[in-house]
Amino acid sequence: MKQDWRRSLRNAIVRNDHRNVVAGAVAGLGGAIAIGVMELFSFAAHYPLAVIPFATSIVLVIGSPDVEPAQPRALIGGHVVSALVGLVVLKLAGPQAWAAAAAVGLSILAMYLTGTFHPPAGINPLLVVSGNLPWTFLFVPVLAGAVLLTAFALLWHRFLRRQAWPRRWI
């Protein structure tokens, strides 16, 4: 009897069953840990947490790891491409409301064209243009954060869930 609940727990975690409370609690724990680490980096980098665009990416990568936007190419590439679009639009148009809207639209197009579509990355150009953020934003927190989130997801899925992740790297 003692083994049955352990086996059920392990099976729920491995399957990532969206209707199972245990699997949901484990995914929630992963999200909370990732957000906590993100907060530490936010503090260390002197960026307000509201300017670090990874909360929804964490939910996607931990909660639905098999979907295409949760794969490393989309996770890293989508954040970098969309932030880069935001920086280019900011340079060309300045921190205008219309420019922020245009940057989001252009970043969606750019992610489609580059095969890096990651919906949570759509916030990057909005943050960049409306916040008049510097080019360094592309490297820290965007690139560094996306790479760290990818590493966290790899460890989380391989060692805790004991599942192969990602389905593909590129």
pLDDT tens by residue, 14-38: 665 556 777 788 888 989 999 888 8
Amino acid at 85: V
Q: How much is the mean pLDDT over the chain?
A: 89
- Global pTM reads 0.85
Residue 121 has pLDDT above 90, yes or no: yes
Cα separation, 98 vs 116, whole angstroms: 24
CB 81 within 8 A of CB 147: no
